[in-house]
Structure 1
C-alpha cells in the first residue's frame, strides 16, 4: 500500500467513489432540510463575526454547535464501529 493510499484509507478510486456517494447522500439530506451551501457559508461567517464581537458568548455558541454536531456524529460513529466489529461487517 502506497503512502497516498495509507493517507486516504484505501485506493484512490475507491475513496473517490465513497466520497461521491456520501456527498450525494448528505446533499440530499441538506436539500430535504432546505439548506443551501450558501446558508452554511453564511452561518460560518456569522459565527466568526459573533466570535470577534461577543467574545466568550461565542464560546458558548461553539459548545452548542459541538453538542448539536455530536448528537449526529457520535451515534453514526458508534453504528459504524459496531458494524465493523460484527462478522458480517468484516472484510
Structure 2
C-alpha cells in the first residue's frame, strides 16, 4: 500500500504534505501581498472567457461584413465578365 501511495505522490506522504504546506504558505503570502482572493481568480477566468467569447463572435461579424462588402463588387464584375466572354 505504502509503495503505491509513494509512487502516486512522487515522494513519501510526510514529505509531500510538508511540500504542500510550504507551497500553500508561499502562495498565500503572495496573494495577500497583492490583495488577491481565490474568488477574484475565478472572476478573472470567467471574465476572460466571456471577453474571448464576445470578441470571437465580433471577429466573425467583421469577417461577414468584409465578405459582403467584397461580394458586392466581385460578383457583379464576375457576372459582367462572364456575359462579355459568353458573346465571343
The TM-score bracket by the shorter chain reads 0.5 to 0.7
TM-score by length of 1: 0.53
Answer yes or no: is 1:50 the counterpart of 2:51. yes
Q: Who is 2:3 aligned against?
A: 2
TM-score by length of 2: 0.54
Distance in 2 of aligned mates of 1:55 and 1:6? 43
Q: Identify the range of structure 1 (4-13 vs 15-24) with the bigger mean alpha-carbon deviation.
A: 4-13
Distance in 2 of aligned mates of 1:2 and 1:49? 45
Q: Who is 2:76 aligned against?
A: none
The alignment yields a C-alpha RMSD, in angstroms, of 2.2
Structure 2 unmatched runs, 5+: 58-88
Larger radius of gyration: 2
Corresponding residue pairs, total: 57
Distance in 1 of aligned mates of 2:4 and 2:29? 33
Distance in 2 of aligned mates of 1:53 and 1:7? 41
| Structure with the higher helix share, 1 or 2 | 2
Structure 1 unmatched runs, 5+: 57-91
